[in-house]
Amino acid sequence: MKVPLKTIKITSVSFFTALFTTAVIAQPGQTTTLSPTQQVGQVVKWFTGFFTNNAQVASNSDIPFLTMENCSASVLGSGNSTAQYVHLEQYIGGVSLLRTAAYEFSPGDNGVNLKVFPYLNDSAALGSCDRATPQIDLSNLVSTSCDLNLVYKSNQFFGTNSPVGCPTSFPVPESTVVSTVTISADAIDSFDEFSTPFGTSFGTPIEFQRVAKTPEPGINGTLISLGLVGLVAIRKR
């Protein structure tokens, strides 16, 4: 049973979500592909920056105003030497934290492998992108990650974990989330559909656009469950 997003009233969230998929990259009209290492560099470049869904909110007042800031970061601890790391923060109305997580992008046999790790202590990680040298403390990450691949085509990365999805505790334990995401040079579009063990499901598409980082006015709205990550598997680090 589908539940319209605007009927869900949520004041706080605690859930394990994630993003993306393999990548074989070819420019339009070309047969040359980028190596997995080059693919990692490309998706990290497109994924980092400051984004909002302001244009989407302007055309649909039922959707809350969201901001997202992602920045490349070094790691404290023994990380994957072939990987690039990104710190992510998402906010409701630009002020209320929705989620934060660490992303590990690494070359795979067929493209880009992505691992998404929630933080053990969010407070210790918040504000990383405002520091002179952003850093992710690997000891502050949970021991399980959401693993998936990224596929590139038509100048964008696309990923979905349908129909399997990923286990999540949001909105209730034993729920699942199925995610679809598209990442291009200046936009990140995502759709996360959450399903409960009681047979209900809900979700909404979110359309992020790259913008200059400037203060945005808060917009009141219902807190949505946004995952931005298509989860394929959960594995131990």
* pLDDT attached to residue 110: 75
**Amino acid symbol at 12:** S
| 137 token code pair | 């403390």
* Confidence (pTM): 0.77
Contacts of 228 (CB under 8 A, 6+ apart): 17, 18, 19, 68, 88, 90, 179, 181, 188, 190, 192, 206
* pLDDT attached to residue 1: 53
* pLDDT attached to residue 215: 54
Secondary structure of 39-65 in HEC code, one letter for each residue? HHHHHHHHHCEEEECHHHHHHCCCCCC
Burial of 188 (0-12, 13-18, 19+ CB in 10 A): buried
- Is residue 232 predicted with pLDDT exceeding 90? no
Report the C-alpha gap between 207 and 106 in whole angstroms.
25
- Is residue 4 predicted with pLDDT exceeding 70? no
Contact 52, 89 (CB under 8 A): no
Q: pLDDT (tens digit, 9 = 90+) per residue, 55-85?
A: 999 999 999 999 999 999 999 999 899 999 9
Report the C-alpha gap between 133 and 142 in whole angstroms.
22
Contact 148, 21 (CB under 8 A): yes
Report the C-alpha gap between 174 and 93 in whole angstroms.
29
- Alpha helices (runs of H) in 134-230, residue ranges in sequence order: none
Q: pLDDT (tens digit, 9 = 90+) per residue, 19-44?
A: 432 233 344 443 348 888 998 999 99
Domains of the chain: 5-236 (2.40.128.590)
